[in-house]
Amino acid sequence: MRYMVTAVATALVLAPGFPVRAQMKPTAPGTPGDPVWQRTLHLSDGRTFVTDGALAIDAAIAKPASLPESTLPAASATRVESYLAASLKDECAFADLKANADGRTYTAPSGLRLNATYVDFLKRKLSTRSLRIRMGEELQPMVILFEGKRVGVLMAVKR
């Protein structure tokens, strides 16, 4: 199963103004532990996000031991902000996600698959009662909500 990181990776790594088209390595589905944060983004509202290329999330939630040294340009942060603001057709609670037999993914009621590493990470960090996800199509970044606030974007795992 290959990872679907096209939209977020393109926005984060290949955005205009990014001096080196460096590749990020998203966390493989089902990898134990936390994602490996590789870049930092500074949003216009003052929040700092961290990303591994498939998940971009508020650093206040991720709580990395230290922020990655590499910071993405403002154009990448603007793109993530547009993903956070997007209107998406479906929304579900994390409790509605079903673990797949492979142990590497979860499936949302809409049929989209999510990387188990990210789902488990979010479940460890936040109360699942207040954790929701909004999604559209397979190639659209999903929006992670906590207590009604948009706190991250996540790519689906390709079917």
Which domain, by its residues, includes 40? 6-154
Q: Is 27 part of a structural domain of the chain?
A: yes
Domain count, the chain: 1
- Residue 110 carries which side chain, given as an amino acid letter? S
Q: Is 1 part of a structural domain of the chain?
A: no
* Residue 3 CA to its chain's centroid (Å): 12
Q: Is 62 part of a structural domain of the chain?
A: yes
Q: Is 159 part of a structural domain of the chain?
A: no
Q: What is the pLDDT of residue 2?
A: 42
Q: Which of 59, 2, 48, 41 is nearest to 25 (CA)?
A: 2
Q: Is 128 part of a structural domain of the chain?
A: yes
Q: What is the pLDDT of residue 25?
A: 84
Q: Is 132 part of a structural domain of the chain?
A: yes
Q: Is 33 part of a structural domain of the chain?
A: yes
pTM over 0.95: no
Q: Strand pairing partners for 56?
A: 51, 153
Going residue by residue through the chain (159 aa), what tens digit of pLDDT does each one get?
A: 444 443 444 444 434 433 333 578 888 888 888 899 999 999 999 999 999 999 999 999 999 999 999 999 999 999 999 999 999 989 999 999 999 999 999 999 999 999 999 999 999 999 888 999 999 988 899 999 999 999 999 998 887
Task: Confirm if 71 and 49 have CB atoms less than 8 A apart.
Answer: no
Q: Is 136 part of a structural domain of the chain?
A: yes
Tokens found for residue 35: 């994602």
Q: What is the pLDDT of residue 47?
A: 98
Q: What is the pLDDT of residue 101?
A: 95
Q: What is the pLDDT of residue 84?
A: 97
